[in-house]
Structures are given as structure tokens and as C-alpha cells.
Amino acid sequence: MHKRVWMIATGSILVSCAYAALYGDPPDELHAWAVHDMNRPRPPVVIPGATPGQPPSDAIVLFDGTSLDEWVSDKDGSPCPWRIVDGAMEVVKGKGMIRTKRAFGDCQLHIEWRTPTVIEGSGQGRGNSGVFLMGTYELQVLDSWENDTYPDGMAGSIYAENPPLVNASRKPGEWQTYDIVFHQPRWEGDRLVRPGSITVFHNGVLVQDHWLFEGVSTHRRRTQPKRHEEKLPLKLQDHGNPVQFRNIWIREIPPPEGDYTTGPYRKKEAIAARRAETARMVREDAEKMLKAGQKVDGMRRLLESLIYVADPATLERGTAMVAAYVQEVSQLSGAAAEARKGEITGVLNDLDYLVRFQIAPGLQPHLEALRAFAQKQGWLKK
Ligand code: MG
């Protein structure tokens, strides 16, 4: 931690500093972290699939060509009544929809499908199936290669609501892909506070661009919103055509509200809580450094905690440490001063930042004293 060396420009000086603290604009009411904040949590590491479309390490594989174990009959929960043909899962006419054993809410879903090579039927009767997110919102599966039908029922459509932006269909019998990002509607009591949304790439082409669901899927009637469980199984439709599926995987994703510290739904209380938590973590880290005898690093880390919360006790203690520090280094000269140039200019950076952003304006006299010292050493650029 904090071992990377960054060159930091502060006003007229260029200093190297042991870590990227006190660098970008500080946290504020609407931002839990500074710009370029090294205290910001790192996203979890996910190993992507070997090739695009293959499941990443955190995906739940729902069908890999070998087993129907993740699926059951939607009618009665009995074992999946569809069949496996050459590594693909095929609809068995009349057996009804199937659903996953597990339930999901917001998700990223990858699914591959193909309609029969031999064309039978027309319009809605040709290669019809469907991907029902949460068993409720249908992304239509249909052979839409030179097969006219109502646009809000073609491949890539949100059934009964919205046609795809373009028709990106491949020929019958060719494998096609859907890559889906789905968010369910959010309710507070009986009030719909945010509609659900869906983004879909059909064979890599954008066909649904964050479509906001009007309601739950239906037929002939205008769709209406309807409150449902927060997690529900994914379903695939039996519409009487032997449509095949393969390589199905899903990743559960957080709601767009996140933890309310970033994005359009940010809340000041959540941001303040997060800042307090980060301040506590940084202070604890500072204590460990001080205990280990790392006096200067510990002091700097303690000062760093102030950008999250201007804790009065920490401010007082930090100010006393800075006063003693400046007093000490001001006595240095020649090689002794030169040997500590990196460290001293680093502290100078910190004091400059804390004063400039009004985080600890009381440090002003110490900043001036240290700057004068650095000036005397010839460390500051003209
Ligand atoms: Mg359908």
C-alpha cells in the first residue's frame, strides 16, 4: 500500500510523494472520495471468458451444453421437460415454459439461440420463443429473417412494448446472441419510484437502449406495471417451435442506486457516512504507522484523514505534530537536509493542499515556514 511514487505538481513545486494522497480535488457533500483517491475501494477482480461471450469467473452458468440441472418445468417444478440436442437445449412442443431453479433480480444475461433451419410457419408462428426476465418481462425470440410481423413482437423486441432499434437477425439455423443488462422496477410501497430498464445487444448490435418498461409483458393488451418479488426465476418460452438455446450464463449486478454514494441517486447522508468510514480507516492506518515508529508517514496519513472528516481532535493533534516537524527540519542544513528532500517536499505538498482547500487553514503559518525553508534549499522552481 502507498508504495507507488507519483510526481505531483503543486503550484510552483514538483514533488515526489510516497502515495497519491492529497492530490485531486477533495471529497465534498456530493463526493465521498477525492478525485484520483487511492483510498477508494478497488472493484472486485473478475476473470473474463477466454473469448467474448464465454462466461466470466463470477457468472452462474445456467446451461453449458451438458445438463438441464439448473432448469425445471414452469408448470409444476418437475425436471426440465426440454431436451438436449448436440449440446443445445431444445424446446419440446407442448411441454410448456421452463424456469431456472434459482431466482434473480438485476442481472447481466448472455444467451444464444437459433431458430430451425427449415422454415415453417410465418409471422409469430416462425421460430417463436422468448427470454422472460424475472419470468415477467419478455425479450422476444423469433425468426425475423425476412419474416414480417408486428414490430413490437419481432426478434429483439420487448414484447407488446418496443421494437428493436434495428433488425440484426441472422438467417434461420444460425446461432444468434443476446447480451442483456436488466434492472427491475423499484417500488416504495405501492408507488413505482423507478421503472425497470433493459439494454440488449443482438448479435453484438444495440437493439434496446436502456428501454424503460411500461409494465409486465402481455399480449394484445397495453402493458401495466405490477409489483412482484425482488427475485424471480428466469423463464424460456415454449411457443410450439423447436427453438434451441446454448451458452446461457448470468451475473447478478447491483441496482443502479448502488450504495447511494455515487451516480444519479446519491444521498448526502450516505456520502457523509462513507466519508466517516474512510476517515476512521485512514486514522487507524496512521496509528499503526506511528506505533511502528514511522513518524512522518504516520503524521501525513493522520492529516490525510481530515479531507474526509475534519475531526477536531485529529486536527489539533495533527497541527501539533506539524509544528514539531517544521521546527525540527528547519534546523537541518546541507547534506542532512538534502537527504530528506523527498520527504520534506511531500509534507509541503500536504500542507499546501490542506490550506488551499480550506481543510486545515490553521496550518498556514507552518506551510509558510516550510515553504521558506524549501525555498532556501533551492528546491522550489522559479
Ligand atoms: Mg415469444
Which pLDDT does position 382 carry in this prediction?
67
Query: Is residue 304 within 8 Å of residue 292, measured between CB atoms?
Result: no
First-last CA distance in the chain: 33
The CATH number of the domain holding residue 164 is 2.60.120.560
Position 17 confidence tier, pLDDT thresholds 50, 70, 90: very low
Which pTM does this prediction carry?
0.89
Q: Residue 6: pLDDT above 80?
A: no
Q: Ligand 1 centre and the CA of 122: distance in Å?
A: 13
Q: Which helix (H) or strand (E) holds 209?
A: strand 205-212
Q: Give the structural domain span for 277.
A: 10-32+267-381
In a domain, 287, yes or no: yes
Which pLDDT does position 183 carry in this prediction?
98
Position 13 confidence tier, pLDDT thresholds 50, 70, 90: very low
Q: What is the percentage of the chain residues whose pLDDT exceeds 90?
A: 92
In a domain, 43, yes or no: no
Q: Ligand 1 centre and the CA of 10: distance in Å?
A: 61
User: pLDDT tens digits for 199-244?
Assistant: 999 999 999 999 999 999 999 999 999 999 999 999 999 999 999 9
Q: Ligand 1 centre and the CA of 203: distance in Å?
A: 18
Q: Which residues have their alpha-adjacent CB atom under 5 A from ion ligand 1? A: 128, 130, 237
The cell numbers describing 198, all together, are 433493459
Three-state secondary-structure class, residue 296 = helix
Which pLDDT does position 21 carry in this prediction?
80
CA angle 97, 99, 101 (to 5 degrees): 155
Mean pLDDT of the chain: 94
User: pLDDT tens digits for 320-356?
Assistant: 999 999 999 999 989 999 999 999 999 999 999 999 9
**225 CB burial (10 A radius; 0-12, 13-18, 19+):** middle
Reported as half-sphere exposure (CB side, CA atoms, 13 A), residue 354 has a value of 31
User: DSSP state, 25?
Assistant: P
Q: Check whether residue 26 and residue 87 sit in a common domain.
A: no
Q: Check whether residue 157 and residue 219 sit in a common domain.
A: yes
Which pLDDT does position 305 carry in this prediction?
98
Q: Residue 3: pLDDT above 90?
A: no
In a domain, 42, yes or no: no
Which pLDDT does position 19 carry in this prediction?
54
- Name the domain count of the chain: 2
In a domain, 318, yes or no: yes
Q: Ligand 1 centre and the CA of 355: distance in Å?
A: 63
Q: Residue written as cell 489539533?
A: 316
